Chains A and B, each alone.
Chain A
Amino acid sequence: MDSALESTEMLNRFLAEVERRAFQMAKFATGHRDEALDLVQEAMLRFVRHYSVRPRQEWNVLFYRILRSRITDWYRRTFVRRKILAWLGRSGEEDPEDPLQSLPDTVNPNPSDQVLRHEERGVLEKAIRALPLRQQQAFLLRAWEGMDLKQTAFAMKCSEGSVKTHYFRAVHTLRGLLEGHRS
């Protein structure tokens, strides 16, 4: 009984650790807050149902592998839906951006610094969103989540060589965009 409670607590801590980054990744991929929340929820459910019995050190990679798979499924579904809507002569409806996202960060005492950072973050997020899906995933898993090549390849279900290529291209594109913005 105690061990069950302990493992639930461990799971809770793990999911609390990854949920924000997972949400951001899903949001970069989908561009929609609610879709991203749904994808994270699906990934969490699938993870706890099927993989929570696996060793703790495997959780991170397994969770992101599930999330990546959910995002890819979402892409396929959206692609088909858009094709059908385009064929019917209608465009897909766009969800409005969460208004809370545009609220200023009240924690930072320096307003000009905060505006600059906010602006820079906006440029970065926009640039990440504009990357092709595989580049986006390789970049976020390697640069943000801190996974090594092998782990990223496992999470993305591709070879290490592909990860290297996607990651290199993503870094090159983002650096170009951010440096262009600064100058």
Chain B
Amino acid sequence: MNTKDPEKLFLEKVQHLLDQGAKNLGSRTERRLEEARLDALSAVEGKRSGFFLPRRWVLAGSFAMATLVAAALFFLLSPSTETLPAGDLDELEIITSRERLDIYQNLDFYRWLGSKENRMRPNGKGL
């Protein structure tokens, strides 16, 4: 006597029928499935070994070289950020002062003017 649950029996039968159906797919379908599987596997093999192909190395090398050249050009052509050598305290004052530059550009004239004024003063102490 079979005491199995009718739903279980039904499901077993369904499984059996479905398995039978999957077994007999026909040679054309089976061939296509095998091709699909092999295509997928070759894709994963390509993915694994892809980086070691010479073409990839050439590309990676070219990219690294281009980056290096770009970096070198950038550092060579960009304005220097080094601190200016302050040889003299006067020069440093000139550089850092906010006064008008034309005074320093015509420095000889102002020196001459100063000496002339000194000479015009009777005690040599100026005006």
Encoded as 1 (CB less than 8 Å from any B CB) or 0, chain A from 35 to 69 comes to: 00100110011011100100000000000000000
Q: Closest CB of chain B to A136's CB: distance in Å?
A: 12
Contact status B29-A23, CB under 8 Å = yes
Contact status A44-B37, CB under 8 Å = yes
Residue among B25, B36, B47 with the highest chain A CB neighbour number at 10 A: B36
Q: Closest CB of chain B to A110's CB: distance in Å?
A: 14
Interface size on A, residues (CB 8 A): 38
A-B contact count (CB 8 A): 93
Question: In the complex, which residues 43-86 of chain B have their Cβ closer than 8 Å to any Cβ of chain A?
Answer: 43-45, 47-48
B interface residue count range (under 10 / 10 to 19 / 20 to 34 / 35 or more): 20 to 34
Q: Closest CB of chain B to A138's CB: distance in Å?
A: 13
Residue among B10, B20, B44, B48 with the highest chain A CB neighbour number at 10 A: B44
B17 at the interface (CB under 8 A from A): yes
Q: In the complex, A101 Cα to B28 Cα: how many Å?
A: 10
Q: In the complex, A51 Cα to B101 Cα: how many Å?
A: 72
B28 contact from A19, A21, A98, A124, Cβ within 8 A: A98
Contact status A105-B24, CB under 8 Å = yes
Contact status B26-A100, CB under 8 Å = yes
Contact status A174-B17, CB under 8 Å = no
A81 at the interface (CB under 8 A from B): no
A144 at the interface (CB under 8 A from B): yes
B43 contact from A12, A19, A48, A101, Cβ within 8 A: A48
Encoded as 1 (CB less than 8 Å from any B CB) or 0, chain A from 62 to 83 comes to: 0000000000000000000000
When C-beta atoms are compared, the residue in chain B nearest to A38 turns out to be: B36
Contact status B15-A144, CB under 8 Å = yes
Binding site for A on B (CB under 8 A): 7, 10-11, 14-15, 17-18, 20-29, 32-33, 36-37, 39-41, 43-45, 47-48
Binding site for B on A (CB under 8 A): 4, 8, 11-12, 15-16, 19-21, 23-24, 33, 37, 40-41, 44-45, 47-49, 52, 98, 100-101, 103, 105, 117, 120-121, 124-125, 140, 143-144, 171, 174-175, 178
What are 14 A-B interface contacts by the 8 Å CB criterion? A4-B45, A8-B44, A8-B45, A12-B37, A23-B33, A24-B21, A33-B29, A44-B36, A47-B40, A100-B27, A103-B26, A105-B20, A143-B15, A144-B18
Given A12-B41, A45-B39, A100-B29: 4 more A-B contacts, CB < 8 Å = A23-B25, A24-B22, A44-B39, A48-B41
